[in-house]
Amino acid sequence: DTEVTQTPKHLVMGMTNKKSLKCEQHMGHRAMYWYKQKAKKPPELMFVYSYEKLSINESVPSRFSPECPNSSLLNLHLHALQPEDSALYLCASSQDSGDEQYFGPGTRLTVT
Amino acid sequence: AQSVTQPDIHITVSEGASLELRCNYSYGATPYLFWYVQSPGQGLQLLLKYFSGDTLVQGIKGFEAEFKRSQSSFNLRKPSVHWSDAAEYFCAVASPNSNDYKLSFGAGTTVTVRA
């Protein structure tokens, strides 16, 4: 099973709302990732968790807050977002560094 | 710094015709190489990967790719395209060094399939 699941599939939120995106994998992978993807562009890395510890933060604004409760779960907490944060948010996982990454279907986020 | 170039922004191909998507990379050593496909509104699906060994790699959905060290290229091919192959294709590279988790993507190539 090479499945990464993400919920919700779609999310519309106002600029004062607080919401969370969830990601889950049961492949025993030790690395999990959050990406942001704008239309017609490649994914941009936001965060990497390795062995449940934050390994990489690509200078992401603090209105995005990642959390890794356990080795299978990854959350992205959203607060006070801007309309330009509207995008497809992708979660991925890999066995370890350099290994192929498996992507979830994404959450389509719209900030109004 | 590593970089990936996909020279073709958009390719249109007839159903049943062959397809080749180009990918060139810039890196100090041979990186790990990947091709992903993304259908509209979906996540990325791994088509194939190259780490080492045989330079002709077979993937899913009838795709193959050839690694050419001398040309720093990793081109993707399919002998006969199906309408369902219409999608966005991304070439990506990763460092073979441990503790480097970053995947560098090319800009992508949009493939349109005409009947």
Q: Which residues of B touch A42 (CB under 8 A)?
A: 90, 105-108
Condensed to tens digits (0 to 9), the pLDDT of residues B18-60 reads 999 999 999 878 889 999 999 988 899 999 999 999 999 999 9
Condensed to tens digits (0 to 9), the pLDDT of residues B55-84 reads 999 999 999 999 999 999 999 999 999 999
- pLDDT score of B46: 96
- The 3-state secondary structure of B43-68 reads CEEEEEEECCCCCEEECHHHCEEEEE
By CA distance, what is A32's nearest residue in B?
B101
Between CA B92 and CA B36 the distance in angstroms is: 8
Phi-psi domain of B33 (left: phi exceeds 0; alpha: psi -120 through 50; beta: other) = beta
Condensed to tens digits (0 to 9), the pLDDT of residues A15-70 reads 989 999 999 999 999 999 999 999 989 999 999 999 999 999 999 999 999 999 99
The answer to whether residues B67 and B74 touch, using CB atoms and an 8 Å cutoff, is yes
- pLDDT score of A18: 95
> Does B40 contact chain A (CB < 8 Å)?
no
Report, as an integer, the average pLDDT of B87-114.
Answer: 91
By CA distance, what is A3's nearest residue in B?
B45
Binning pLDDT at 50, 70 and 90, where does residue B100 land? confident
Phi-psi domain of B108 (left: phi exceeds 0; alpha: psi -120 through 50; beta: other) = left
Any idea which of A6-10, B4-8, B9-13, B97-101 has the lowest mean pLDDT? B97-101
Binning pLDDT at 50, 70 and 90, where does residue A1 land? low
The answer to whether residues A96 and B99 touch, using CB atoms and an 8 Å cutoff, is no
Calculate what percentage of chain A has a pLDDT beyond 90: 89
CB–CB of B95 and A40 under 8 A?
no
Best of A100, A102, A108 to mutate (most B CBs within 10 Å, chain B): A100
By CA distance, what is B35's nearest residue in A?
A100
pLDDT surpassing 70 at residue A2: no
The answer to whether residues B103 and B2 touch, using CB atoms and an 8 Å cutoff, is no
What is the CA A111 to chain-centroid distance, rounded? 16
Report, as an integer, the average pLDDT of B81-97.
Answer: 93
Report, as an integer, the average pLDDT of B1-5.
Answer: 86
